[in-house]
Amino acid sequence: MRHFILILSFIFLIRIANAEERISAPPTNGSAIQSKVSSVDENVPVPVPEPSAKAVQRYQSGIVLWFVRVVWGMALPVFLLFGGFSARLRDFARRIGRHWYWMVCVYFVILMLLNYGLNWPLRYYMGFVRPHAYGLSHQTFLKWFTDSLKGLGLTLVVGCLFLWIPYLLLKKSPRRWWLYAWLAMLPVFFFGALVEPVAVAPLFNKFDSVKDKALEAKIVALAEKAGIHGSRVYEVNKSVDTKMSNAYVSGFMGTKRIVLWDTIIAQLNERELLFVMGHEMGHFVLGHVVKGILCSWFLTLVALYGIHITAGVLIRRFAGRFGFDSLSDIASLPLIILLVSLFSLVLTPIGFVYSRHMEHEADRFGLELTHYNHSAAMGFVKMERENLGYPRPGMLFTIWLGTHPSAGDRIDFFNSYKPWEKGEPSKYERYFGREKQ
Ligand SMILES: [Zn+2]
């Protein structure tokens, strides 16, 4: 999937949070939790839980694995470039494809198959063996394998459909391609973030109305209070293939929708769930999807220009070894992949700072909307415990992997943020109870 995005847009670097986000927790026995909800005292603080030994091990090995993945992801393009294999692959693709467009396709397909094969052991370990070893997945091997093949198929189709566009730009405008590519990417970003959840996601899962009608009514009432009018609530039957939980608000105008995976309904009690919905509604009302896209788009400009300059220097220096002397040569694809990886390593942390800020504001919105401080914190305690979370990660983790504030920071905030108790105004109350626009 990473390469699908990468190749499609050339530089889809910064995956900062958007409306759809993972809450990450396996289901628990919901019926035991549902009782006594009404008697909760929302003023009782909740201590940040200590991670179990297993959670500590998962956190530490996760950082090592992240490092291995980054290094391995750069090793293959380096090998292809400096060994001259990329140029040889281009020559082969030219003989097979004849026409320029087909040459690009043949080169791309072979490169991606090679990449898939060489990455397979690491992908299998990280995507299948590891989550099962920690009891975080019950996906069958067949499902995992067919999903990974589907991802590969999608990569090949999308690459063959779109890869010629940036290469044509490189050919026609070697000095300004990065600017045109940047402009062309804005619609791609918007399509990905706004249209995909509404038009593509239902192709893969069944979106039904929420079975618990009382819960549905409460969510709709909360949405109305948050100023989101006329939205529909959907329950997605995800428990068949994952233990993870998720909830999000997406779409716009007629396609506005609140989506809950059935796993999160089973896991959290009503107040915990309503806080999560309040948080998601915060993303929607505060326009975080659009802000996230614009942030990514801006960072993309920096990356594209950086790639343009760096690639020029490297090609001048190593053209003999690479076997190509222009970025518009399809043999340059591993060089572009390598530079995308390097620049995203530098720029992703900037995007994540902004993402953590938006997540914090969505938490604030959710608290102001519901006043469920204790329930919000309890929901996170449950998710941390059952998902083997690490509530207070170190700086390395936060910089490169922290899309959200740490669970520890979030629980601290839930415990302490109550401006309404002191009669102080809430930051977002102006949005509450707004009439239909
Ligand atoms: Zn969020």
Cα separation, 250 vs 10, in Å, equals 26
Q: What is the pLDDT of residue 284?
A: 87
Question: What is the whole-number distance in angstroms between the Cα of residue 18 and the centre of ligand 1?
Answer: 8
Question: What is the whole-number distance in angstroms between the Cα of residue 282 and the centre of ligand 1?
Answer: 8
411 C-beta neighbours (distance < 10 Å), count: 25
Whether 15 shows a pLDDT value over 60: the answer reads no
| Domain range annotation of the chain | 2-30+52-431
Question: What is the whole-number distance in angstroms between the Cα of residue 278 and the centre of ligand 1?
Answer: 10
Question: What is the whole-number distance in angstroms between the Cα of residue 74 and the centre of ligand 1?
Answer: 31
Whether 405 shows a pLDDT value over 90: the answer reads yes
Whether 222 shows a pLDDT value over 90: the answer reads yes
Question: What is the whole-number distance in angstroms between the Cα of residue 32 and the centre of ligand 1?
Answer: 27
pLDDT winner (highest mean) among 7-11, 18-22, 351-355 = 351-355
**What percentage of the chain has pLDDT greater than the value 70?**
87
SS (H, E, C) the chain: CHHHHHHHHCCCCCCCCCCCEECCCCCCCHHHHCCCHHHCCCCCCCCCCCCCHHHHHHHHHHHHHHHHHHHHHHHHHHHHHHCCHHHHHHHHHHHHHCCHHHHHHHHHHHHHHHHHHHHHHHHHHHHHHHHHHCCCCCCCHHHHHHHHHHHHHHHHHHHHHHCHHHHHHHHHCCCCHHHHHHHHHHHHHHHHHHHHHHHHHHHHCCEEECCCHHHHHHHHHHHHHCCCCCCEEEEECCCCCCCCCEEEEECCHHHCEEEEEHHHHHHCCHHHHHHHHHHHHHHHHCCHHHHHHHHHHHHHHHHHHHHHHHHHHHHHHHHHHHCCCCCCCHHHHHHHHHHHHHHHHHHHHHHHHHHHHHHHHHHHHHHHHHCCHHHHHHHHHHHHHHCCCCCCCCHHHHHHHCCCCCHHHHHHHHHHCCHHHHCCCCCCHHHCCCCCC
Cα atoms in the 13 Å half-sphere on the side-chain side of 267: 29
pLDDT (tens digit per residue) in 293-348: 899 999 999 999 999 999 999 999 999 999 999 999 999 999 999 999 999 999 99
Q: What is the pLDDT of residue 262?
A: 84
Find the mean pLDDT for residues 6-10: 38
145-159, 249-263, 422-436: the lowest-pLDDT one: 249-263
- Contact by Cβ (8 Å): 243, 269: no
Q: What is the pLDDT of residue 31?
A: 40
Cα separation, 250 vs 200, in Å, equals 12
Tell me the backbone φ, ψ of residue 120, rounded to 5 degrees: -55, -50
pTM above 0.75, yes or no: yes
Find the mean pLDDT for residues 168-196: 87
Question: What is the whole-number distance in angstroms between the Cα of residue 280 and the centre of ligand 1?
Answer: 6
Q: What is the pLDDT of residue 270?
A: 93
Question: What is the whole-number distance in angstroms between the Cα of residue 1 and the centre of ligand 1?
Answer: 22
Question: What is the whole-number distance in angstroms between the Cα of residue 410 and the centre of ligand 1?
Answer: 11
- Residue the block writes with tokens 């409460």: 218
Question: What is the whole-number distance in angstroms between the Cα of residue 75 and the centre of ligand 1?
Answer: 34
Question: What is the whole-number distance in angstroms between the Cα of residue 23 and the centre of ligand 1?
Answer: 8
Question: What is the whole-number distance in angstroms between the Cα of residue 279 and the centre of ligand 1?
Answer: 6
Question: What is the whole-number distance in angstroms between the Cα of residue 285 and the centre of ligand 1?
Answer: 12
Question: What is the whole-number distance in angstroms between the Cα of residue 241 and the centre of ligand 1?
Answer: 23
- Residue the block writes with tokens 């405008």: 173
Cα atoms in the 13 Å half-sphere on the side-chain side of 419: 11
Q: What is the pLDDT of residue 341?
A: 94
7-21, 133-147, 288-302: the lowest-pLDDT one: 7-21
Cα separation, 391 vs 176, in Å, equals 46
Question: What is the whole-number distance in angstroms between the Cα of residue 166 and the centre of ligand 1?
Answer: 33
Find the mean pLDDT for residues 213-221: 91
Question: What is the whole-number distance in angstroms between the Cα of residue 283 and the centre of ligand 1?
Answer: 7
Whether 1 shows a pLDDT value over 80: the answer reads no
| Residue 201's pLDDT band (cuts 50, 70, 90) | confident
Find the mean pLDDT for residues 342-361: 95
| Residue 6's pLDDT band (cuts 50, 70, 90) | very low
Cα separation, 155 vs 9, in Å, equals 12
Question: What is the whole-number distance in angstroms between the Cα of residue 345 and the centre of ligand 1?
Answer: 23
| Residue 10's pLDDT band (cuts 50, 70, 90) | very low
Question: What is the whole-number distance in angstroms between the Cα of residue 256 and the centre of ligand 1?
Answer: 17
Question: What is the whole-number distance in angstroms between the Cα of residue 163 and the centre of ligand 1?
Answer: 32
23-37, 52-66, 148-162, 315-329: the lowest-pLDDT one: 23-37
Q: What is the pLDDT of residue 252?
A: 62
Whether 8 shows a pLDDT value over 50: the answer reads no
Tell me the backbone φ, ψ of residue 41, rounded to 5 degrees: -95, 110
Question: What is the whole-number distance in angstroms between the Cα of residue 230 and the centre of ligand 1?
Answer: 22
Nearest CA to 374 out of 38, 37, 45 is that of 45
Tokens at 244, concatenated: 């993870």
Question: What is the whole-number distance in angstroms between the Cα of residue 436 and the centre of ligand 1?
Answer: 24
Q: What is the pLDDT of residue 115?
A: 95
Whether 4 shows a pLDDT value over 70: the answer reads no
| Residue 269's pLDDT band (cuts 50, 70, 90) | very high
